[in-house]
Amino acid sequence: MTANPQIPDPAGLLARPALAVQVADVLRGLILEGELKGGEKIRERELTERFGVSRTPLREAMKILASEGLIDLIPNRGAVVARRSDAELADAFPVLAALEGIAGRQAAERASDAEIAEIARLTGALRDAVGAGDRPLYFEINQKIHAAILAASRNEMLARTHATVAGQIHRARYQANLTRSRWEKALAEHERIAEALAARDGAALGTLLHDHMMAKLTAILEARRSGAAG
């Protein structure tokens, strides 16, 4: 008999995740995909009908997303999809850059050879996407590379933290209507990143990833300034 009652073995063999967690995942997807836009009000009734669940798990899911910063809860008035100001974006990127920096340093130490090869392959595909002028494909591969580096860092806490911060500025990253010159610079940065990883040079990789992210911020803010607000 333990004095502290404990769960012996989470196992999770056939344990289905709670409905609220599933709903949160779907809702998060809707927000990240842009189907629910920033500033938009969230109607409980509408979503319960859409998902076919009652209000209880939906409201629990909304609490989860609010704690992630994806939506804002306003007492007695429901929830709205969070809208990030330029100032908040500018604040978030140094945080993301620092997180990617550590990810790079740890990935250089911990990545398997297979992971390094995969990232090299993705970088090649990125070059092809730039050559073909395919922006959606570029964004997709770009995201895969960053996710692969995060995974290769073998740091669960880092990955979770990164995902939370990145989620809050996710949509902004696709607003960067990048110019050809910025696009090619970004590709060059990615190729140096792949090289540093292949050489397992953690310090260089960390710095490259950090600077890459900060350059992205500059590009996004410029794009926001030139293109009129949405």
Partner DNA sequence: GAATTGAATTCTGAATTCATAATTCCTGTC
Partner DNA sequence: GACAGGAATTATGAATTCAGAATTCAATTC
- For the chain, the maximum distance between any two Cα atoms, rounded to a whole number of angstroms, is 67
How far is the C-alpha of 107 from the C-alpha of 94, rounded, in Å?
Answer: 19
Half-sphere exposure of 124 (CA within 13 A, CB side): 6
Q: Which is nearer to a second copy, 137 or 158 (CB)?
A: 158
**How many residues are present in the chain?**
230
**With CB cut-offs between 5 and 8 Å by kind, which of a second copy, DNA, none does residue 45 bind?**
DNA
For residue 41, give the 3-state DSSP assignment: strand
Considering only residues 10-29, where is the footprint of a second copy by CB under 8 A?
A: 10, 12, 15-18, 20-21
Q: Which is nearer to a second copy, 172 or 187 (CB)?
A: 172
Using CB under 8 A, which of the segments 57-65, 127-135, 172-180, 195-203 binds a second copy? 57-65
Buried b (16+ CB within 10 A) or exposed e, 92-125: bbebbbbbbbbbbbbbbeebeeebbebbbebbeb
Considering only residues 74-93, where is the footprint of a second copy by CB under 8 A?
A: 74-78, 80, 88, 91-92
78's enclosing H/E stretch is strand 78-81
Q: What does the binding site for DNA look like in residue numbers (CB under 7 A)?
A: 7, 15, 18-20, 42-45, 53-57, 59, 73, 75-79
Q: Which is nearer to DNA, 73 or 95 (CB)?
A: 73
**With CB cut-offs between 5 and 8 Å by kind, which of DNA, a second copy, none does residue 54 bind?**
DNA
Please report how close the Cβ of residue 20 comes to DNA at its closest, in angstroms. Answer: 5
How far is the C-alpha of 131 from the C-alpha of 21, rounded, in Å?
Answer: 41
204 binds a second copy (CB under 8 A): no
Please report how close the Cβ of residue 124 comes to a second copy at its closest, in angstroms. Answer: 30
104 binds a second copy (CB under 8 A): no
Question: What is the DSSP pairing of strand 41-42 with strand 78-81?
Answer: antiparallel
Closest CA to 25 of 72, 80, 62, 55: 62
157's enclosing H/E stretch is helix 156-168
Q: Which pair of tokens denotes residue 176?
A: 């960067």
Q: Which pair of tokens denotes residue 175?
A: 């607003």
Q: Which is nearer to DNA, 25 or 195 (CB)?
A: 25
Q: Which is nearer to DNA, 12 or 136 (CB)?
A: 12
Residues near a second copy (CB under 8 A) = 4-7, 10, 12, 15-18, 20-21, 37, 39-41, 56, 59-61, 63-64, 66-69, 72-78, 80, 88, 91-92, 94-95, 98-99, 101-102, 105-106, 155-158, 160-161, 164-165, 168
